[in-house]
């Protein structure tokens, strides 16, 4: 078996801590893509309330006030069309990321995004503005898939969770930033009031594109393209070591051995993403798709998209300030996740987060239906629980959903799996955003605060889903995650993962895998049969 024994002895270069600082910095930089994501999704809510925007895209009210308004169909088209773009953008990310590479895929996405920003900045009528939102959405959708994938493929395993969590942190900062920029320009007495917050996105795209241009390509993508020497050079740059460094060579062998095994099992098309088999690709694909769906079903965007209105209807004195407060909680409480995701672990964090959100959401619903709008003390308690709920999301499901989907797919189908999972996130994002007013508003479902009973119940779904479907992957290399999937179940994954670490198991190291399985023949048989299949190549 090529590379087998040598690989087994390695701790994996990306696993070593001695010279990883540059690599960590580089993969953290890619998180800048999160600013695009957060800012672009957040900016429209403020922009569409601005006087000069309404004058440009709306029509005069017929109440003699001289104010302008926008028709409901135009408003809902402008707001929701972004999700259509992001959904298709996420799907497009797979061919882009596989063909151009993860790095140039992001650069391409920035160009498409900038075209969308240019259209929106220059638009003087609804159709061009809508077209601009579609293009910007395409770019954001691609970035939202390619950035965490690039980060996971390029960062050291012991800190991969924290690096991908930086991306979520950037999303939260982007949302907050959009609120601040809108606040700063909204009272300007000309068209710059809305054009500045839109055009500023050129800066985010420019920084991301130039940065990605300068960063090394993902070594794993280069191996997939059989560009071994380029991969060694890229890995060397990430680890501040020459491409000939023995540790670099060992890790390259590890990635190659794993890819060979995946190719032997035969998986690279979209149909292959839904196949059963020893590599449990079907489970992995469905886990990614449903994890992102459940992340949206926590109901978090109810607060970010609809919070101001909800707080206003609940009788809260300053709903705008409370919305900003929830944004700040979201930013600040993502920070503990940097540590927690690689120490407490993915699975435990998701379980804790789902349980915490569930309790908060039921309490919000109960308080909301029992207190009157005049009861200011009660409103403060309600706001406090909303903030605790956001804190639970920010420190668990926010980052961990992205961390898990960026690492569970085998290399051969990683771009496709990741892109379908991200598209699922955007589809549910759209569906929930679209359905919410109908569920909550008096003239339709009139759920008001009772809607939190719905979100509380979906968090119960999150809990059950995590327990049965999420593997513990903290501290494992992407190649070790393959071994984990091949040999255990989510419920038993915590102890099996500990064994993988304890026995320093690597791709194609059958002896170590046997030890990790602790003599469980069910585990060893699966692995050994794949190994012998590979032996025949």
Distance CA(177)–CA(186), nearest Å, equals 14
Q: Which residues of 202-230 are buried (b: 16+ CB within 10 A; e: fewer)?
A: eebbeebbebbeebbbbbbbbbbeebbeb
Provide the 8-state DSSP code for 272.
G
Does residue 417 bind ligand BGC (CB under 6 A)? no
Distance CA(230)–CA(128), nearest Å, equals 42
Q: Which of 69, 301, 504, 528 binds ligand BGC (CB under 6 A)?
A: 301
Q: Which two tokens stand for residue 74?
A: 């135009």
Footprint (CB under 6 A) of ligand BGC, residues 53-92: none
Does residue 168 bind ligand BGC (CB under 6 A)? yes
Q: Could you tell me if 197 and 53 are in contact, meaning their C-beta atoms sit under 8 angstroms apart? A: no
Q: Which of 398, 410, 417, 433 binds ligand BGC (CB under 6 A)?
A: 398
Nearer to ligand BGC, 425 or 524 (CB): 425
Q: Which of 53, 302, 304, 485 binds ligand BGC (CB under 6 A)?
A: 304
Nearer to ligand BGC, 38 or 456 (CB): 38
Min CB(399)–ligand BGC separation in Å: 7
Q: Which of 50, 171, 209, 352 binds ligand BGC (CB under 6 A)?
A: 171
Q: Is 68 helix (H, G, I), strand (E, B) or coil?
A: strand
Total chain residues near ligand BGC (CB under 6 A): 11
Distance CA(15)–CA(155), nearest Å, equals 9
- C-alpha count within 13 angstroms, C-beta hemisphere, residue 524: 12
Q: Is 59 helix (H, G, I), strand (E, B) or coil?
A: strand
User: Which residues, in sequence order, are CB contacts of 369 under 8 Å at separation 6+?
Assistant: 448, 449, 450
The sign of the dihedral angle between the CA atoms of 425, 427, 433, 438 is negative
Nearer to ligand BGC, 83 or 493 (CB): 83
Distance CA(188)–CA(207), nearest Å, equals 27
Q: What is the DSSP string of 255-268?
A: HHHHHHHHHHH---
**The one segment of 47-55, 127-135, 166-174, 379-387 that binds ligand BGC by CB under 6 A:** 166-174
Q: Could you tell me if 262 and 226 are in contact, meaning their C-beta atoms sit under 8 angstroms apart? A: no
Min CB(405)–ligand BGC separation in Å: 11
Q: Which of 425, 436, 477, 493 binds ligand BGC (CB under 6 A)?
A: 425
Min CB(109)–ligand BGC separation in Å: 17
Footprint (CB under 6 A) of ligand BGC, residues 429-458: 429
Does residue 330 bind ligand BGC (CB under 6 A)? yes
Footprint (CB under 6 A) of ligand BGC, residues 90-149: none
Nearer to ligand BGC, 222 or 329 (CB): 329
Distance CA(482)–CA(455), nearest Å, equals 33
Nearer to ligand BGC, 6 or 439 (CB): 439
Contact letters (x/-) for ligand BGC, 271-300, by CB under 6 A?
A: ------------------------x----x
Does residue 477 bind ligand BGC (CB under 6 A)? no
Pure H helices in 444-520: 451-469, 478-487, 493-502, 510-516
Q: Tokens 């503990």: give the residue.
A: 336
Distance CA(384)–CA(364), nearest Å, equals 9
Min CB(398)–ligand BGC separation in Å: 5
Does residue 323 bind ligand BGC (CB under 6 A)? no
Q: Which of 56, 83, 86, 172 binds ligand BGC (CB under 6 A)?
A: 172
Min CB(73)–ligand BGC separation in Å: 24
Nearer to ligand BGC, 93 or 300 (CB): 300
Short-list 114, 126, 41, CA closest to 78: 126
Min CB(395)–ligand BGC separation in Å: 11
Footprint (CB under 6 A) of ligand BGC, residues 345-384: none
Distance CA(81)–CA(83), nearest Å, equals 5
Binding residues for ligand BGC (CB under 6 A): 168, 171-172, 295, 300-301, 304, 330, 398, 425, 429
């Amino acid at each position: 078996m090529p590379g087998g024994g040598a690989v087994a002895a390695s701790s994996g270069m990306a696993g070593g801590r001695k010279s990883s600082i540059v690599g960590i910095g580089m993969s953290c930089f890619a998180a800048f893509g999160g600013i695009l994501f957060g800012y672009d999704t957040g900016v429209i809510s403020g922009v569409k309330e601005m006087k000069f925007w309404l004058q440009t895209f709306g029509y005069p009210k017929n109440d003699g006030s001289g104010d302008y308004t926008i028709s409901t169909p135009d408003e809902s088209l402008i707001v929701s069309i972004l999700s259509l773009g992001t959904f298709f953008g996420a799907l497009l990310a797979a061919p882009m990321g596989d063909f151009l590479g993860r790095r140039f895929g992001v650069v391409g996405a920035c160009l498409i995004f900038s075209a969308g920003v240019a259209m929106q900045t220059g638009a003087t009528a609804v159709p061009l503005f809508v077209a601009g939102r579609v293009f910007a959405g395409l770019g954001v959708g691609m970035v939202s898939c390619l950035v965490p994938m690039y980060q996971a493929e390029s960062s050291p395993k012991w800190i991969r969770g924290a690096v991908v969590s930086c991306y979520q942190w950037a999303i939260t900062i982007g949302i907050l930033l959009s609120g601040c920029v809108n606040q700063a320009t909204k009272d300007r007495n000309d068209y710059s009031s809305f054009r500045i917050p839109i055009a500023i996105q050129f800066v985010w795209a420019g920084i991301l594109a130039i940065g990605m241009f300068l960063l090394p390509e993902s070594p794993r993508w280069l191996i997939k393209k059989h560009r071994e020497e380029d991969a060694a050079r890229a890995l060397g740059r990430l680890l501040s070591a020459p491409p000939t460094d023995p540790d670099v060579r060992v890790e390259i062998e590890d990635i190659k051995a794993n890819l060979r095994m995946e190719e032997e099992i035969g998986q690279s098309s979209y149909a292959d993403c839904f196949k059963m088999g020893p590599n449990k690709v079907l489970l992995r694909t469905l886990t990614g798709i449903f994890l992102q769906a459940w992340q949206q079903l926590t109901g978090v965007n109810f607060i970010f998209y609809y919070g101001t209105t909800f707080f206003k209807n609940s009788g809260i004195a300053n709903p705008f300030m409370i919305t900003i407060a929830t944004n700040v909680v979201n930013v600040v409480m993502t920070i503990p996740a940097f540590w927690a995701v690689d120490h407490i672990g993915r699975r435990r964090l998701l379980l804790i987060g789902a349980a915490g959100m569930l309790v908060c959401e039921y309490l919000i619903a109960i308080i909301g239906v029992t207190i009157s709008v005049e009861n200011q003390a009660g409103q403060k308690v309600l706001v406090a629980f909303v903030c605790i709920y956001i804190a639970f999301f920010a420190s668990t499901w926010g980052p961990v959903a992205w961390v898990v989907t960026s690492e569970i797919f085998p290399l051969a189908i990683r771009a496709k799996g990741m892109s379908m999972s991200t598209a699922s996130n955007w589809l549910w994002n759209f569906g929930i955003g679209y359905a919410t007013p109908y569920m909550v508003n008096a003239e339709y479902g009139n759920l008001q605060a009772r809607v939190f009973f719905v979100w509380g119940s979906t968090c119960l779904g999150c809990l059950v889903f995590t327990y049965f479907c999420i593997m513990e992957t903290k501290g494992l290399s992407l190649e070790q995650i393959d071994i984990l999937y091949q040999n255990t179940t989510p419920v038993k994954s915590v102890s099996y993962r500990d064994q993988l670490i304890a026995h320093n198991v690597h791709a194609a190291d059958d002896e170590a895998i046997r030890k990790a399985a602790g003599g469980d023949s069910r585990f060893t048989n699966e692995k050994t049969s794949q190994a012998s299949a590979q032996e025949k190549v």
